[in-house]
Amino acid sequence: MSLDDETEVILQKATFGAGCFWCVEAIFERLDGVADVGVGYSGGNSDNPTYDEVCGGATGHAEVIRILFNPEIITYEKLLKVFWSSHDPTTLNRQGGDIGTQYRSVIFHHTGEQRKMAEKLKIDLEKNKIFKEPVVTEISPLINYFAAENYHQNYYRLNSTAPYCLA
């Protein structure tokens, strides 16, 4: 095969916050077309925050996942649908027992197209009354992303029998 016959697939990025990043990472890494999922922090006001700083609530960051995906296999729209069905987007700054702004429901868009798609689907959820309560998911431009510490990466895969993961 010559180089002219090869087509290069350009992976795209999506960044979502939907509660504890350990659990959200486990959901998305199982999807066909997802090349990689990393966990980190976005949306805050300090550089290179630590887990303890983010959990303290003072940095403004959310726990997020960053997804690298092949748009020829899985669309951004499909990722959004998984996002909204994998957590409760009607609770402000909380998912289950995890409480604080770091656990907020948030979509950090990378492009204008991602913003439009996220806003359209959020409006559709409201219009079709998919949830009993209003959807409070924040939709914001991605202004920063900091990878979480190594011990958080692939947490569920490495610790699936830990009590938190079994809850």
Q: What is the pLDDT of residues 35-69, one digit of tens each?
A: 999 999 999 999 999 999 999 988 999 999 999 99
Q: Which residues contact 60 (CB under 8 A, 6 or more apart)?
A: 43, 44, 45, 46, 101
Q: pTM for this structure? A: 0.90
Q: Annotated active-site positions, please?
A: 20
Q: What is the pLDDT of residues 91-149, one digit of tens each?
A: 999 998 889 999 999 999 999 999 999 999 999 999 999 999 999 999 999 999 999 88
How many CA atoms are closer than 13 Å to the CA of 89, on its beta-carbon side?
26
Mean pLDDT across the stretch 32-37?
Answer: 97
CA distances from 74 to 69, 118, 124, 141, 147 (A): 7, 16, 20, 22, 23
